[in-house]
A = this chain, B = another copy of it.
């Protein structure tokens, strides 16, 4: 929704109706959480942030599934084995490239994409269509390289 990650939703309810979905209290909260996050979230992450508004975990589960069926949200297999979810922005740009610290678990988005050209090459070579990719880098961030320091 928001043009840049981190930008709050202009209007979650309107966005929902535009996409043929009922704009309930819980749903707008879920959309707002997804829309303002710069990193993919687990269902538990989302629930934690909407439970204050009385939104149940089952609602998060079901509604995120609906958004994924409609391809408004992208499912991401996180490098630690968890499943995360990321809203697709309006401009159709939905890259999920991240740099993850193995020590403090901080997540930094990576803007550049070196894989796209490679994707085209593979598509030609092997005849695949509709290619999509998921790339995650993990390492130890500068802060965690300094001994005896913990974050998060």
Contacts and interface: CB of A to CB of B under 8 A. Distances in A.
B115 A127 contact: no
Contacts of A114: 114-115, 117-118
Interface in A126-142: 126-142
B134 A140 contact: no
A99 B122 contact: yes
Contact of A139 (B83, B102, B128): B128
A126 B142 CA distance: 8
Contacts of A108: 126
Interface residues on A, range: 35 or more
A110 B77 CA distance: 19
Contacts of A142: 126-128
A78 interface: yes
B126 A132 contact: no
A142 to B, nearest CB: 4
Interface of A: 75, 77-83, 99, 101-102, 108, 110, 112, 114-115, 117-119, 122-123, 126-142, 145
23 contacts: A75-B81, A77-B77, A77-B78, A79-B134, A108-B126, A110-B122, A114-B118, A115-B137, A122-B137, A123-B139, A126-B141, A126-B142, A127-B145, A128-B141, A128-B142, A129-B139, A129-B140, A131-B139, A132-B138, A132-B139, A133-B136, A133-B137, A134-B138
